[in-house]
């Protein structure tokens, strides 16, 4: 029996996932999600600009010394280094979610080709074969439109 509840992909019923302890992966994921949410806001950008302006304003106080320059260089290098990992984590998670959603749409659509599920795992040569078939389909559809025919339907690929 298939349940239509979210996240229910097994045919035996849905079982809630209980995470009783926070392991290193979920800890990192929580920090990455929070960081992405927070740093993506306009107010954080304004705060960063204000911080840089404050640093520039302190230049005359510290006589534009090497230490004064080293402070901003070190801070921005560390933040940039850490943000690369947070951004990559967020992008990986978003990409994975999009692939899963598309896979579910393909799986649930009658007449769709289930062979298209999980395409991201195929070799480039296999992807090229699929791409060529769909490009040929697009060319045929454009020719149909030019000749006054409809381009709707689900022709075989």
> Over the stretch 113-148, which tens digit does the pLDDT of each residue have?
888 888 888 899 999 998 999 899 889 989 989 998
Global pTM reads 0.62
> What is the structure's pLDDT at 57?
96
pLDDT at 5 over 50: no
pLDDT computed for residue 92 by the predictor? 92
The H or E element containing residue 39 is helix 24-39
Measure the CA–CA gap between 48 and 75, rounded to whole angstroms: 12
- The strand ranges marked E within the chain are none
Pairwise CA distance, residues 36 & 90, whole Å? 7
Q: Encode pLDDT of 71-114 as tens digits.
A: 999 999 999 999 999 999 999 999 999 999 999 998 888 888 88
CA distance to 2, 13, 22, 104, 117, per residue, from 10 (Å): 7, 6, 25, 13, 17
C-alpha distances (whole Å) from 64 to each of 51, 53, 54, 61, 117 are: 16, 14, 13, 8, 58
Helix, strand, coil content of the chain in percent (nearest 5): 65, 0, 35
Q: What is the pLDDT of residue 23?
A: 75
């Amino acid at each position: 029996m298939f349940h239509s509840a979210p996240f229910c992909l097994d045919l035996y019923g849905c079982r809630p996932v209980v995470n009783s302890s926070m392991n290193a992966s979920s800890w990192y994921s929580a920090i990455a999600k929070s960081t992405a949410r927070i740093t993506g806001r306009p107010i954080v950008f304004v705060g960063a600009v204000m911080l840089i302006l404050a640093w520039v304003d302190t230049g005359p106080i510290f006589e534009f010394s090497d230490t004064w320059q080293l402070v901003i260089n070190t801070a921005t290098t560390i933040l940039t280094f850490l943000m690369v990992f947070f951004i990559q984590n967020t992008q990986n998670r978003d990409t994975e979610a999009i692939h899963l959603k598309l896979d579910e749409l393909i799986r649930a659509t009658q007449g769709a080709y289930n062979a298209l599920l999980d395409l991201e795992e195929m070799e480039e040569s296999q992807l090229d074969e699929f791409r060529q078939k769909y490009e040929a389909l697009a060319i045929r559809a454009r020719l149909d439109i030019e000749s006054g025919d409809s381009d709707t339907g689900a022709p075989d690929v």
